[in-house]
Structures are given as C-alpha cells and as structure tokens.
C-alpha cells in the first residue's frame, strides 16, 4: 500500500508501508476527497455547497452521455492527438489536475515509467522550522513505490513526479494506482538496470554515478476501466485523510460513505409511497420532507455520509444514476473539446536511455515540435534550498554534538534555480525531469514562465519571504523549443555556466583523485543479483563465498497469526534474513529455503527471530543495498541545481549565498 506521507504523524505511518498490488481502496478502506495544499479554502467551498441551489441538470449531460456510451476498450492510435492533459481539477479549489484524453482498461499502464527520487531522513536533515513551510513535503510518498527504496536509508520519502505528484485524490473516484513492481519487475528496476541491460552506460566506472536517481521505473496503471476525459485520481492512502485536520476530515466522504449514500438513496426511492402513481418529479414537493429527515439522520450518523448525499431531493434520481461520488464532482469527466481548449498537453516527451554518456535517462520528443513551440508545461514546487541541505553531526572534543552542513539531497540535481537565490523549483510534470544538459550549441529547448492560463504570473511580484511561505503550487514553466525538433530527438536544455563549470570540475577531480565510488568498481549491483533464478547462498556457504559488502538479503514476512494454520505470506514486508538451508525441490529447478527472519516489533522495539520456509518460486527473497551504500549517498556525489537563464528569477528573490 502506497500512501502520501502525512508529516505530523510520520512515526505512525512508518509502520503501515505494506507491499501489495491493491491499494487501500480496492481493499475497501475508507478514503477522502482531498484538495491538495489548501484545505481551508476547499473546506469553505464544501461548506458553501450545503447552501447551494438545485444543480442545473445540464451540468450532467456530458457525464450521462459518456457513462451511457463508454469508450473503454476502443483502440486508440492517433499519434497526433494528445493523450494526457494538465488542467483545472474538477475538485473545487484543488488547483490543477491530470486528465486522460484516451480510455484505459483496468490494469493497463498509464503514462510512462517515471523516476522516483528518495529524500533521505528528511526529519533529521530538515532545518528546525521545516514544518512551518515545506511545500514539497505535502507531495511525498512513503518509499514503497520505489522498489526497495524503503531499505536505502533510515527513513526515506519518495518524490514521484508525473502522475504521483500531479494527480488529485478523490476517494470515491480512484481510477489510477501505483504499479507494484516488487513481485514482477524488481530485478529490472532503475537506471542501473538500464545500464546493465542496454550496456550503454557502465555504471561501474561512470563519473555520473551518484548524480541521478537509481529509481527509474515508477509506474502507474488503471485501477478500473477509465473513460476518455476522466480526471485521474490516485489514492493518497487512508492515513492522509484520517490525520488531516479533523474539521476537514469531518466533512469529506470516504469511499465507504459514497457506497452507503448510494444504497441509502435507492432505499429512499423505494420507500416513497406514491398512491397516485405520480412521476418522481411531479411528487417532488411531497418528497422534500422525508428527504430532509433522511439528511438529518445521515448527519447524526456521520457528517461525512451526509456530505456524500445530494442537498436537494430533486437531484436524487441523478445521483442514483451516476452514483453519489460521480455526482459530487460534476466535471470529473471533461469533453475532448474542453481539454483541447483548457488543457496543456503533456505527452510530447517521453523518457528513454540518453544518447549522452553518464546521463542515465533522457527525454525524447514524441512528435515534431516547431521552433518556438511548447514542448511541455509543468507546475513547479517552490522549495527553500535550506530544506534540501544535509547535515552531519560532529562530536566535539568537549563531548558536544554539533551539526555541520554536508551536501544536499539528491533532488537538488532535478531542481531549477539561480546562483544568487535560495529558492529552488522542482518540476512535477511527467518526463520533464529526464531532460538533460546540452551545450549552448546542442541545446534545443529553454525554460520560460508559462503562458498557460493557470500560471500565477502575479506571484512574480511576491517577496522572497512570501515565496518561502507558499503552501501551494501556482507557478508553471513552459519548456519551449529553440530549434525545430523532430520526433525522436533528445531534448536538451543548457543548464547554465555555473552548472557546466561544476560538472567539469567534478569530472576533473574524478579522473585525478577518484572519490569513494571506485571501491565499488567491478562489484555487481542488486540488479545483477536479483536475477530470476539466482541461487541464494546459505550462511555456511557465505563464509567462503561472500556477497559484496554493500548487499544484504531481505525476506518477505508477515507476523504469523493463530488463525492461519499453515504459515503463508500474502502481503509481506521485507525484513532482514539469513538463509540457513537450501533444498532442491525434486523434478524442478526450484528450491526450498529455510531462513532466519528478523522481525522488529516497532511498538516495543523488540527483535524476534522466526524460522520461515520459502519456495524460490514466490520471489520473496531479494537483495537490497545496505542503507546509505548507493552511489548518491557517497561523498563526492555531484550536487548542483539546474541554472535558470538571467531574467527569469526576479531580483527580489535573489541574495548572495555564501560560498
Ligand atoms: C490519526 O491521528 C489521531 C490523533 O491525531 C490518532 O489517534 C490516530 O491513530 C491517527 N491515525 C493513524 C492511522 O495514524
Ligand atoms: C508587478 O507589479 C507591478 C507594479 O505594481 C505591476 O505593474 C506588474 O503588472 C506586476 N506584475 C505582474 C506579473 O503581476
Ligand atoms: C523550422 O521549420 C519551419 C517549417 O516547419 C521552417 O520554415 C524553418 O525554416 C525551420 N527553421 C530552421 C532553423 O530550420
Ligand atoms: C571511503 O569509504 C570508506 C568506508 O567505506 C572510508 O573508510 C574511507 O575513508 C572513504 N574514503 C574517502 C576518500 O572518503
Ligand atoms: C556480475 O554479474 C554478471 C552477470 O550479470 C556476472 O557475469 C559476473 O560474474 C558478476 N561479477 C561479479 C564480480 O560478481
């Protein structure tokens, strides 16, 4: 189960990261309609809805039409039509949302593989006042969407651009979910895999090591059949809702509430005794009083159930027809015309293996884009660079612990900024973060403030302090073609002189005095080891044939329960384990493994050892890197934000930074 991290209750959330393909909605847990960033405004809007007049039925014409003649299953292969749009969310005051212009079938992949960037121990490294303003932290996920990300550091949080950052959450209308890689694809996760499989980049001797994220395979799929025009809604996880402000949570229906409301309305309709045989519309005056009673009853039971019900009895038949969740969000399916007119197309670039050595992945044009044309548009998250600083605790001679600045979070390499400004901007749109640096001559794109109607151009006049207090996103970049671009061209941005100088210096120092990466030269990564059919070594065998130092084995594990006669792992966490025995299974190429599994009860911190038998077919055994051994946690890893051209950052956001 993946979930957005709700910072105030981090400690509680750490323990609920469970791998599994079904999100919380599929397993029937409660959810919430969540308006990102601005709960109070959203709340006010929901409050106002109580007093609203009867909703104009014409609002629902499109919805009814689309739901009556679903387009799901039609093949879609017009390469010139945009498939995915950024546009105003159908949830009031939720800012921008993501819409698909094409239908999908359940479990069909949506969008392309994306990178995921791990934030390492954000609570430890954050400046003391981080909680006051840290827009990025309202976008982070638990580390589970990144295969094995949760083992990389003490506590990791995942930044998942693309669908993971742009989608809103409406628990009654969840239609997209993270694809869980861990059973199917974990051995081919990441840029390392690209290096191994494609053979294009040798990560082992690569000067780029540590400068880009290892996680390049964050994927999404349709949670159910999706109509063309639907806004994409991703479950942020029930914890998000449970621990949102109680006022807010108090009004927002969960998936269960919508279901109850649907049933309640049908029962209500069936209960109406209408001796004259009048049509519902004609008898509506008579139904008003019993409906008021129903609403009161619902309110007493649970305000969120009441919020799932239409305010006016006139709307009951429509709410039954569409379902109360769909009814509650009348623009959740937009017309193709609306999307074309109001949306920004996001599928003109796609990630792939870069043509540049050491660059990992790159972004490629999916169609022809003329000079001056918009390649893509992206909302940017404003970040105070202080939030991205890493610190190290130094014990002084007198025993006092001092904190020292020790580099930056990896995400800095994906942020845009200016040498003289302490602000950084992280783009959220899909594939934007794949765009590599090209020399002034090679670059074929540049960043501009967006011409998209939702770009809040007036924010350019904000003071630096105001910018650092932002609790929502509102600024957008356009990536604009500076040359004619053909389909398949790699998109390159000039990252600026400072970036170039630092990169050259990095390469130089790499050559003359190898940093701490070289000790891993010739050593295989988890990708090599996590191959299908790998034969795990027993403790005894490891005495003479050890694994490389940076690897450890993890086993899928669930606490045994009394009700389970046979021990069976369905939805495991991965915990440290050692292989005690290995027995071939007759007439197969499989093994039974007996493993010593180490389980820590988080509540009591008590460590318990279990002896568990695994069939190698289950893929429950895997290699992960020991914490902090991946390249980007090493000293000497390259850290530098991407430079914005002069004239983009207004002068009042600048001040000289030390160093
Ligand atoms: C949510 O917060 C409340 C109190 O603020 C707490 O009692 C509850 O356990 C939390 N729920 C989760 C799932 O963390
Ligand atoms: C910024 O403020 C100036 C002066 O008040 C005004 O003329 C200008 O239009 C503002 N710019 C934007 C983008 O709102
Ligand atoms: C770009 O393409 C247009 C036509 O598509 C052409 O007129 C123009 O000369 C091209 N520009 C360059 C620099 O090649
Ligand atoms: C490299 O890492 C090892 C530990 O893995 C450490 O002992 C050594 O000092 C490091 N070398 C440099 C040059 O940082
Ligand atoms: C690394 O893995 C490759 C297969 O991917 C294997 O051929 C090679 O022997 C391994 N090298 C080491 C040092 O384990």
| Ligand 3 atom closest to 368 (CA) | 5
Looking at the fold, whether 193 and 310 belong to one and the same domain comes out as no
280's tokens? 């519902």
The DSSP secondary structure of 186-250, one letter per residue, reads GGG-HHHHHHHHH-S--GGG-TTTTSS-SEEEEEEEESS-B-TTBBPBB---HHHHHTS-HHHHT
pLDDT at 245 over 50: no
What is the residue with the minimal CA distance to atom 11 of ligand 3? Answer: 484
Q: For the chain, report the end-to-end CA distance as a whole number of angstroms.
A: 43
Ligand 1 pocket at CB < 6 A: 9, 12, 239, 242-243
Mutate to test the pocket of ligand 5, among 524, 532, 547 (most ligand atoms within 8 A of CB): 524
Asked, for residue 320, whether it belongs to a domain, the answer is: yes
Which region among 209-213, 383-387, 469-473 has the lowest average model confidence (pLDDT)? 209-213
Give, in order, the Cα–Cα distances in Å from 244 to each of 32, 37, 43, 133, 470: 10, 11, 12, 17, 19
Q: Which atom of ligand 5 is nearest to the CA of 548?
A: 14
Q: What is the pLDDT of residues 590-621, one digit of tens each?
A: 999 999 999 888 788 888 888 888 888 877 88
- Indicate whether 378 belongs to any domain: yes
Q: What atom of ligand 2 comes closest to residue 460's alpha carbon?
A: 13
Q: What is the residue whose two structure tokens read 């000293």?
A: 635
Least-confidence region, from 140-154, 230-244, 305-319, 341-355: 230-244
Residue nearest to atom 14 of ligand 4 (CA): 516
- Say if 260 falls within a structural domain: yes
pLDDT at 516 over 60: no
- Cα 12 to middle of ligand 1, angstroms: 8
Whether residues 500 and 608 share a domain: the answer is no
Distance separating alpha carbons of residues 355 and 357, to the nearest angstrom: 6
**Would you say residue 556 lies in a domain?**
yes
**Ligand 1, atom 12: nearest CA belongs to which residue?**
239
What pLDDT was estimated at residue 566? 47
CB 558 within 8 A of CB 583: no
**Is 69 inside a domain boundary?**
yes
Ligand 2: distance of its center to the CA of 261 in Å?
48
| Residues 647 and 587 placed together within one structural domain of the fold | no
Burial class (CB in 10 A: 0-12, 13-18, 19+), 648: middle
> Which residue's CA is the nearest one to ligand 3's atom 10?
484
| Residue 123 and residue 253 in one domain | no
**DSSP symbol at 31:** -
Answer with the one of 328, 354, 376 that is the final residue of a domain: 328
**Residue 617 beta carbon below 6 angstroms from any ligand 4 atom:** no
Do 69 and 163 lie in a common domain? yes
Do 345 and 324 lie in one domain? The reply is no
483-517 per-residue burial string, b: 16 or more CB within 10 A, e: under 16:
eebeeebbbbbbbbeebbebbeebeeebeeeebeb
- Ligand 2 centroid to 553 CA: how many Å? 58
Amino acid 120: pLDDT: 94
CA distance 127 to 405: 11
Q: Are residues 486 and 410 in the same domain?
A: yes
Residue 658 lies in a domain: no
**CB contact at 8 A, 344 and 97:** no
**Lowest mean pLDDT, pick from 38-47, 65-74, 376-385:** 38-47
Structure confidence at residue 204 (pLDDT): 46
Domain that holds residue 293: 248-328
Same domain for 286 and 185: no
Tell me which of 301, 328, 355 is where a domain ends. 328
Q: Over 90: is that where the pLDDT of 219 sits? A: no
Residue 10 has what pLDDT?
A: 27
In a domain, 600, yes or no: yes
Assess whether the C-beta atom of 548 lies below 6 angstroms from ligand 5.
Answer: no
DSSP letters, 452-496, are STT--GGGGGS-HHHHHT--S--EEEEEEESS-B-TTPBPEE---
| C-beta of residue 603 within 8 angstroms of C-beta of residue 11 | no
Ligand 3 atom closest to 371 (CA):
1
Check pLDDT > 50 for residue 18: no
Task: Please tell me the residue having the least CA distance from ligand 2 atom 1.
Answer: 461
Number of domains making up the chain: 3
pLDDT surpassing 90 at residue 568: no
Using the mean position of ligand 2's atoms as its centre, give its distance from the Cα of residue 461 in Å. 6
Is the pLDDT at 211 greater than 80? The verdict is: yes
457 Cβ below 6 A of ligand 2: yes
Q: Please write the tens of the pLDDT for every residue from 288-332.
A: 999 999 999 999 998 889 989 999 999 999 999 999 999 988 899
Q: Which residues contact 43 (CB under 8 A, 6 or more apart)?
A: 247, 248, 251
Average pLDDT value over all residues in the chain: 79
Report residue 117 CA to chain centroid gap.
Answer: 10
How do residues 406-422 score in pLDDT, each as one tens digit? 899 999 999 999 999 99
pLDDT tens digits, 75-90: 444 566 899 999 999 9
For the residues 505-526, what does the mean pLDDT come to?
A: 60
User: Is residue 236 a part of any domain in this protein?
Assistant: no
* 368 Cβ below 6 A of ligand 5: no
437 and 554 both lie in a single domain: no
pLDDT for residue 56 is more than 70: no
In angstroms, what is the span from residue 87 Cα to ligand 2's centroid? 25
Write the burial class of residue 386 (CB in 10 Å: 0-12 exposed, 13-18 middle, 19+ buried). middle
Are 316 and 211 part of one and the same domain? no
Q: Are residues 155 and 227 in the same domain?
A: yes
> What is the 8-class DSSP label of residue 589?
S
Q: Is the pLDDT of residue 52 over 50?
A: no
**pLDDT, greater one: 70 or 364:** 364
Asked whether residue 19 falls in the same domain as residue 136, the answer is no
How far is ligand 4, taken at its centre, from the CA of residue 517, in Å? 9
Nearest to 145 by CA among 212, 73, 219: 219
Q: Which of the four pLDDT bands, split at 50, 70 and 90, describes residue 202? A: very low
Q: Which of 103-117, 225-239, 242-256, 435-449 has the lowest average pLDDT?
A: 242-256
pLDDT-based confidence at residue 69 (cuts at 50, 70, 90) = low
Structure tokens at 299: 């309110």
Coil/strand/helix, residue 325: helix
């Amino acid at each position: 189960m993946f979930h957005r991290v709700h910072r105030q209750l981090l400690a509680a959330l750490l323990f609920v990261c469970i791998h599994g393909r079904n999100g919380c909605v599929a397993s029937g847990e409660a959810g919430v309609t969540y308006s990102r960033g601005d709960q109070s405004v959203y709340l006010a809007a929901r409050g106002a809805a109580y007093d609203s007049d009867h909703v104009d039925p014409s609002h629902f014409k499109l919805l009814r039409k689309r739901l009556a003649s679903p387009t799901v299953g039609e093949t879609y292969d017009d390469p010139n039509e945009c498939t995915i749009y950024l546009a105003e969310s159908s949830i009031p005051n939720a800012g921008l949302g993501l819409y698909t212009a094409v239908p999908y079938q359940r479990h069909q992949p949506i969008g392309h593989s994306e990178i995921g960037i791990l934030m390492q121990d954000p609570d430890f490294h954050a400046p003391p006042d981080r909680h006051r303003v840290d827009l990025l932290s309202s976008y982070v996920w638990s580390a589970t969407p990144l295969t094995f990300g949760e083992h990389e550091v003490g506590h990791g949080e995942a930044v998942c651009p693309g669908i993971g950052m742009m989608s809103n959450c409406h628990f009654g209308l969840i239609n997209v979910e993270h694809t869980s890689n861990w059973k199917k694809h974990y051995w081919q996760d990441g840029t390392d895999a690209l290096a191994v499989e494609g053979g294009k980049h040798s990560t082992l001797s690569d000067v780029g090591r540590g400068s880009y994220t290892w996680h390049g395979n964050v994927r999404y799929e349709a949670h159910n059949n999706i109509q063309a025009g639907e806004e994409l809604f991703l479950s942020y996880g029930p914890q998000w809702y449970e621990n949102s402000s109680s006022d807010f949570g108090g009004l927002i229906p969960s998936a269960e509430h919508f279901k109850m409301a649907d049933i309640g309305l049908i029962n209500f309709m069936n209960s109406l005794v209408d001796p004259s045989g009048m049509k519902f519309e004609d008898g509506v005056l008579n139904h008003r009083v019993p409906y008021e009673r129903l609403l009161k009853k619902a309110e007493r039971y649970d305000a969120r159930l009441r919020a799932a019900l239409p305010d006016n009895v006139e709307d009951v038949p429509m709410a039954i027809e569409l379902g109360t969740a769909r009814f509650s969000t009348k623009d959740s399916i937009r017309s193709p015309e609306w999307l074309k007119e109001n949306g920004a197309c996001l599928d003109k670039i796609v990630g792939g293996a870069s043509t540049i050595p050491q660059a990992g992945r790159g972004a490629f044009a999916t169609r022809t884009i003329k000079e001056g044309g918009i390649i893509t548009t992206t909302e940017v998250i404003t970040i105070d660079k202080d939030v991205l600083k890493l610190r190290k605790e130094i014990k002084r001679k007198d025993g006092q612990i001092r904190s020292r600045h020790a580099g930056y979070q990896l995400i800095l390499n994906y942020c845009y900024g200016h040498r003289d400004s302490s602000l950084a901007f992280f783009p959220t749109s899909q594939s934007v973060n794949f765009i590599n640096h090209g020399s002034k001559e090679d670059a074929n794109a540049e960043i501009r403030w967006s011409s998209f109607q939702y770009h809040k151009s007036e924010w350019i006049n904000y003071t630096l302090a105001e910018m650092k207090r932002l609790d929502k996103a509102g600024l957008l970049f356009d990536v604009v073609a500076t040359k004619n671009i053909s389909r398949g061209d790699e998109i390159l941005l000039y990252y600026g002189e400072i970036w170039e100088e630092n990169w050259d210096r990095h390469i130089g120092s790499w050559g003359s005095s190898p940093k701490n990466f070289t000790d891993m030269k010739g050593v295989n990564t988890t990708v090599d080891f996590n191959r299908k059919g790998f034969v795990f070594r027993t403790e005894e065998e490891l005495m003479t044939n050890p694994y490389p130092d940076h690897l450890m084995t993890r086993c899928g594990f669930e606490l045994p329960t009394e009700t389970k006669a046979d021990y069976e792992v369905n939805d495991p966490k991965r915990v440290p384990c050692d292989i005690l025995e290995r027995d071939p299974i007759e007439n197969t190429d499989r093994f039974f493994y007996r493993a010593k599994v180490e389980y820590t009860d988080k509540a009591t911190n008590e460590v318990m050892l279990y002896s568990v038998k695994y069939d190698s077919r289950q893929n429950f055994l895997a290699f992960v890197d020991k914490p902090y051994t991946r390249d980007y946690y090493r000293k000497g890893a390259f850290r530098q934000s991407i430079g914005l051209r002069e004239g983009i950052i207004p002068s009042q956001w600048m001040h000289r930074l030390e160093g």
